[in-house]
Amino acid sequence: MPKLNRSPLPLTAEHDAPMTMRDGTVLRGDLYRPAEGGPFPTLLVRTPYGEPTFRMIPKIPALEAGFAVVLQHCRGRGSSDGEFRPWLDEGPDGHDTIAWITAQPWSNGEVVMSGMSYLAGCALQAAATRPPGLKAVVASMTPHDFHDGLKYHGGAFALGSALGWGAAQALLGLLHGMEAGEDAAKTGAGFGALLPVLGDQATAARTLPTGDIPGIPWWRDWTSHPERDAYWQELAETLRHDRIEVPVMHVAGWFDLFLAGTLENHRRLGGPLVIGPWSHLAPGASGTGRLDFGFSASAQAIRLENRQLAFLKGEDTGPAVKIFVMGDNVWRDEEAWPPARAVETRYHFHSDGLLSPAAPAATAPCTFTFDPRDPVPTVGGPLLLPDPTNVGPQDQRDVELRSDVLCFTTDVLTEDIEVTGPVAVTLHASTSAAGTDWTAKLVDVYPDGRAMSVIDGIVRASAPSGVHEIDLVATSQVFKAGHRIRVEISSSNFPRFDRNPGTGGPCAGATEADLVVQHQTVFPGSFITLPVIPR
Q: Which of the residues are catalytic?
A: 117, 256, 280
Evaluate whether 44 touches 133 at the Cβ level (below 8 Å). no
Nearest residue to 99 (alpha-carbon basis) of 165, 147, 207, 27: 27
CA distance 405 to 403: 6
Residues 6+ apart with CB under 8 A from 344: 529, 530, 531, 532
Evaluate whether 523 touches 430 at the Cβ level (below 8 Å). yes
Half-sphere exposure of residue 129: CA atoms within 13 angstroms, side-chain side:
22
How distant is the alpha carbon of residue 13 from its chain centre? 33
- In this structure, what are the phi and psi dihedrals at residue 460, rounded to the nearest 5 degrees? -95, 120
CA distance 86 to 362: 52
Residue by residue, what is the 3-state secondary structure of 339-407? CCCCEEEEEEECCCCEEECCCCCCCCCEEEEECCCCCCECCCECCCCCCCCCCECCECHHHHCCCCCEE
For 12, the 3-state DSSP assignment is strand
CA distance 121 to 534: 36
Q: How many helices (H) and strands (E) does the chain have?
A: 12, 25
The CA dihedral of 429, 432, 434, 437, to the nearest 10 degrees, is: -50
DSSP string, 214-266: -S-TTHHHHHT--S--HHHHHHHTTS-GGG--S-EEEEEEEE-TTHHHHHHHH
CA distance 12 to 34: 6
Q: Where are the alpha helices (DSSP H) in 38-129?
A: 51-56, 59-64, 90-102, 118-127
CA distance 94 to 74: 9
Question: Exposed, middle or buried, 232 (CB in 10 Å: 0-12/13-18/19+)?
Answer: buried
Residues shown for the chain: 535
Residues 6+ apart with CB under 8 A from 524: 349, 350, 351, 360, 362, 363, 365, 428
Evaluate whether 251 touches 245 at the Cβ level (below 8 Å). no
